[in-house]
Structure 1
Amino acid sequence: MTSTRDGVPGHLLFDRLSALDIAAFVVDGTDLSPGSAIPSDGDPRIDHALAGFLFTCGPDHIRHPEPVEGCDEGRRYPLHGSLAGTTVTRAKMSADDTRCEALTEVDLACGGKAAVERRWYVSENGQSVMLEDRVTNIGQSAFAPMMMYHMNIGGRLLGPETHIVSPSIEGGSLGWQFGEGESAHFCIPAVGEEGWSEVLLAPLPGLGGRRLAVRFRVDTLPFLQMWRCQRGGANVISIEPASHRLAKRGELAASGELGAIEPGQSHGYALGFAVS
């Protein structure tokens, strides 16, 4: 799929082997994706997905493995959930290469099943790439929907002048090498206007001083998580709109934050991004 911003074309390469995530995002000949400059958690699904520009965590779990509730068989939710590595059931690209729709049916770790209806499209002004997801419970029992979108940027494109800019951040701005040590992350409530929050990564000296802008719906993605890793050969930073705060499933359930959708019910999620 192709978009244009300020006269500069951007090309997206979709990954049909992983829920129509984005394997590469090329702007003016430069791929923003980290490629092989990522750490490995030992899960080949995630190693494959993390090398791309965007991969989707969920729809049943979004972080590190945890036991499945009420299951005494030692069953665990996999790293980042069940969707990553799931082949697209069907997909269709528009003739003008500006829209793509897909359906992915995924078997959940809890024994249920969900359908992820995905729509990628270029905004009306042609300057932003938009994603709309609808997660529907097509199984026989309720499950707790959880979603997080990893948008991965190669650290080679950033410099000492690069900052994270967002109304969600105290003071409005933070240097991209936040925290201490070789790896760090944070998860904060997303602040926005008219139902959307925004975060910028700018400037990107490895991309001609341009900036990456990301917007996301705060009703179903009410948290902004960010992660970076500069360890060994890894050099990556990730913008991660998330449905839940950083806490164990048991804690989220006890406080009423985990939620559930019954068979036939759906939740919707949306985000957009642009380089300018």
Structure 2
Amino acid sequence: MEFKAKSGPVLALDAGSVLDIGACVVNGVDLAPGRAIPDDGDPRIDHSLQGFLFTCGPDHIRHPEPIGQGHTGRYPLHGSFSSHPAEILTSVTDSGNAQCTALVPVDLADGGTARLERSWSIDGDSGEVFLADRVVNTGDTPFPAMLMYHMNIGARLFDDAVRLQGAMLEGGGFAWTFGEADGGIFCVPARAGDHGWAELRLGPIAAIGGLTLRVRFKTDTLPFLQVWRNQRAPAHVLGIEPVSHRWEGRAQLAERGELDLLTPGEARAYALSFAFV
């Protein structure tokens, strides 16, 4: 479904998969990577990864691992969210602003259940897009609350002037072509600024008129930032990923005491925003 306000990007919200973002059109240009993505062998993620933003979790993030604890299966790539359809509750435009809310019942890999309560909004004056999520454990057993937002941008749009900038980055920022020749990844603690929000910028992007993508996210439940890029053909994509856990496996996180259990009936809230400035 198309989602837009008086100003800001024109978004395609995917009601068939968690109300994530497919296309993100700015000044007539779609920033989503499309098919220029790696194929990890999971058709759910292959679909989601083509869009501008998709959501990992709530029971697992990153790559598959054994479920354990009496289960013989594995957590799917990037958790259970992808491919769960959203029930749209409201979709309104008022005074140039836009809002859309939805509920997403989720079946977890270990047999439990959860509910995602999702709210998208766009400020019609500033063009800033806001996402507020609330994950509720609707099952009978606890599960570790894990969440990662993948914001994927087609790197075909970048030139040598594009940089990553943020207080959590070494030296305050560097060129988008970090790492090895055909890719790289890092995960760092997010550094909160005003009111507990961290900020990262990517730009200027000449293909959309020299605008810069500004991403903000709440660090109380998203205390880390992961960034990756992949230029190994046919992939050509850069991802900005606010995330709940450091870049380690579940066993290592458990040893650290960092698997944050969400008990039955308990909820956890997450928030981010982005704008082109």
TM-score for both structures, normalised by structure 2: 0.95
Gaps of 5+ in 1: none
For the 8 Å contact 1:77–1:109, the answer to whether it is kept is yes
How many angstroms does 1:95 deviate by?
4.2
How many angstroms does 1:51 deviate by?
0.5
In 1, the alpha carbon distance for the partners of 2:6 and 2:150 equals: 23
1:86 corresponding residue in structure 2: 84
For the 8 Å contact 1:19–1:87, the answer to whether it is kept is yes
For the 8 Å contact 1:148–1:243, the answer to whether it is kept is yes
2:262 corresponding residue in structure 1: 261
In 2, the alpha carbon distance for the partners of 1:69 and 1:254 equals: 15
Change (3 A) 1:187 1:213: same
In 1, the alpha carbon distance for the partners of 2:6 and 2:162 equals: 23
Misfit runs of 4+, over 2 Å:
89-92, 123-127
How many angstroms does 1:240 deviate by?
0.2
In 2, the alpha carbon distance for the partners of 1:165 and 1:44 equals: 33
The total of aligned residue pairs comes to 272
How many angstroms does 1:183 deviate by?
2.0
| Cα-to-partner distance string for 1:158-185 (whole Å, 9 max, x where unaligned) | 1111100000102101110110131211
| Cα-to-partner distance string for 1:81-136 (whole Å, 9 max, x where unaligned) | 00011111344211447000000010001111000000001237442100000000
For the 8 Å contact 2:100–2:119, the answer to whether it is kept is yes
| Cα-to-partner distance string for 1:142-197 (whole Å, 9 max, x where unaligned) | 11010000001000111111100000102101110110131211000000212000
For the 8 Å contact 1:21–1:56, the answer to whether it is kept is yes
In 2, the alpha carbon distance for the partners of 1:226 and 1:59 equals: 20
2:18 corresponding residue in structure 1: 19
1:221 corresponding residue in structure 2: 222
1:143 corresponding residue in structure 2: 143
How many angstroms does 1:72 deviate by?
4.4
1:123 corresponding residue in structure 2: 123
The one-letter code sitting in structure 2 at the alignment partner of 1:43 is D
1:30 corresponding residue in structure 2: 29
The alignment status of 1:207 with 2:205, answered yes or no, reads no
In 1, the alpha carbon distance for the partners of 2:175 and 2:120 equals: 31
1:47 corresponding residue in structure 2: 46
Q: What are the within-5 Å matches in structure 2 for residues 80-119 of structure 1?
A: 80-96=78-94, 98-119=98-119
In 2, the alpha carbon distance for the partners of 1:43 and 1:236 equals: 18
For the 8 Å contact 1:4–1:10, the answer to whether it is kept is no
The one-letter code sitting in structure 2 at the alignment partner of 1:255 is R
For the 8 Å contact 2:32–2:50, the answer to whether it is kept is yes
For the 8 Å contact 1:3–1:128, the answer to whether it is kept is no
The one-letter code sitting in structure 1 at the alignment partner of 2:92 is S
2:176 corresponding residue in structure 1: 176
In 2, the alpha carbon distance for the partners of 1:57 and 1:90 equals: 20
In 1, the alpha carbon distance for the partners of 2:110 and 2:71 equals: 12
Change (3 A) 1:4 1:124: closer
- Name the SS for the 1:47 alignment partner: helix
Change (3 A) 1:95 1:202: closer
1:237 corresponding residue in structure 2: 238
Instruction: Report percent identity of matched pairs.
Output: 50
In 2, the alpha carbon distance for the partners of 1:124 and 1:14 equals: 18
In 1, the alpha carbon distance for the partners of 2:125 and 2:262 equals: 35
The one-letter code sitting in structure 2 at the alignment partner of 1:24 is A
- Name the SS for the 1:101 alignment partner: strand
Change (3 A) 1:223 1:4: farther
2:4 corresponding residue in structure 1: 2
Task: Pick which of 155-164 and 63-72 moved more.
Answer: 63-72
**What RMSD, in angstroms, separates the aligned Cα atoms of the two structures?**
1.3
